[in-house]
Amino acid sequence: MYCAAALSPAVIVTARDSATRANLVVGTRGTVSSGTYVDSLRVVNDSFLWGGFPLGTYQVTVEHQGYRQWVRSGVRVTERTDCGMPVSAHVTALLQPSP
């Protein structure tokens, strides 16, 4: 079987300022983890971050200088496409400025 599907990650994250909703992806870093699996989030097109590949329940951690760390647990990725790629879970990290 031939599959022409593009690579898709387990988790896609949009990082925004909680008050202004400004895009904060550039300069943001973080991880996704599921059990013993850990992957760094990668910036894509200055628009969003992505990471992870296996199916599972993820914890997503996002950090940006001048903002509090953002953590979301229980992000579930339970399905694959016909080509075997995970059906991505989309989350929005609304970051709050540090005091």
49 phi and psi angles, rounded to 5 deg: -115, 155
Q: 41 vs 82, which has greater pLDDT? A: 41
The pLDDT assigned to 99 comes to: 83
Q: CB atoms < 10 A from the CB of 54, how many?
A: 12
Judged against a pLDDT cut of 80, whether residue 6 lies above it is answered with no
Judged against a pLDDT cut of 70, whether residue 66 lies above it is answered with yes
In 3-state terms, what secondary structure has residue 80? strand
For the domain made up of 11-95, the CATH class stated in words is mainly beta
Residue range 61-86: average pLDDT? 95
- Domain borders along the chain are 11-95
In 3-state terms, what secondary structure has residue 52? coil
- Give kind and range of the element (H or E) at residue 6: none
Residue range 19-41: average pLDDT? 96
Residue range 80-97: average pLDDT? 93
